Amino acid sequence: MRTLPPIEYKTLTVLMPVFNEQSTVKEIVSRCLLVELPLEIDLVIVDDGSSDETAEVLATIEDPKVRVLTHATNQGKGAALRTGLSAATGDLVIVQDADLEYNPEDWRVLLGPVLEGRAVAVYGNRFSGSGKNMSGLHRFGNRFLSLVTSVLYAKKLNDMETCYKLFDRRVIAPIKVISDRFDFEPEITAKVLRQGYDIVEVPISYAGREFHEGKKITWRDGFGAIRALIRFRFSRTL
């Protein structure tokens, strides 16, 4: 297992890609800012070309901890996170979706192994936590993609597709993200594992939503994830 020299963590950059989340974005931002941590919070929101009133809602948020970046057109979650990563300044980086499926109070659980010096990459595992409302199809797809990841990279993972991915920024600094859509998840996982880092999983809560409520990932994205896992397993570059 590859390790990094210990440092004193002072700041957590939260990367929040947003697309058409006018009904949830203000609430999730509020929840993020209320979390009590032994770290400073730097919340980087990337509005990925929303066509609803998301931009207007974001314009009402006035907090020095919040930065809003904007894409003129919708480019995809991976593209939004690539923009966010380029602006990240924190010692640690975590991904936070703009819906209400994930609870920012779980950040403390994810931070535990890092602050204790046991990990530099931590994923939230929805299957060992108090998850609910995940459809049978999504549950099967997530389990299958995690199995493919475990086989290809010889590292046991139970929830590769989880939103909650926390990294020491030094782990992901060398990585050039090229995925534009939901294949960001397998790409970043593949490139972290290929560098020799272990990914520690911790249980998190999860309150899934349905497509009529705004859920965007579909079964078609699963095929893209499989292609990405294979592609990045044998790619020569990060």
* Partners of 69 in beta bridges: 46
pLDDT for position 140: 85
- For the question of whether the overall pTM of this predicted structure is more than 0.75, the answer is yes
Determine contact, residues 202/113, Cβ cutoff 8 Å.
yes
pLDDT of 2: 94
**What does the alpha-carbon distance between residue 187 and residue 214 come to, in Å, rounded to a whole number?**
24
93 Cβ neighbours under 8 A, 6+ residues apart: 12, 13, 14, 15, 85, 166, 167, 169, 172
Residue 218, pLDDT score: 66
Q: What is the mean pLDDT of residues 142-159?
A: 93
**Lowest mean pLDDT: which of 37-46, 189-198, 214-223?**
214-223
Average pLDDT over residues 111-124: 98
Tell me how far apart the terminal alpha carbons of the chain are, to the nearest angstrom.
18
Domains of the chain: 11-234 (3.90.550.10)
For tokens 């009904």, the residue is: 23
Query: What does the block give as tokens for 172?
Result: 């992901």
Query: Does 178 have pLDDT greater than 50?
Result: yes
**Lowest-pLDDT choice from 41-55, 73-87, 219-233:** 219-233
Angstrom distances, CA of residue 81 to CA of 21, 69, 144, 152, 176: 16, 11, 24, 25, 11
Residue 213 has pLDDT above 50, yes or no: no
Instruction: Look at residue 26 and tell me whether its pLDDT is greater than 80.
Output: yes
Q: How confident is the model at residue 236 (pLDDT cuts 50, 70, 90)?
A: confident
**CA separation (Å) from 197 to 153, 155, 163?**
11, 10, 19
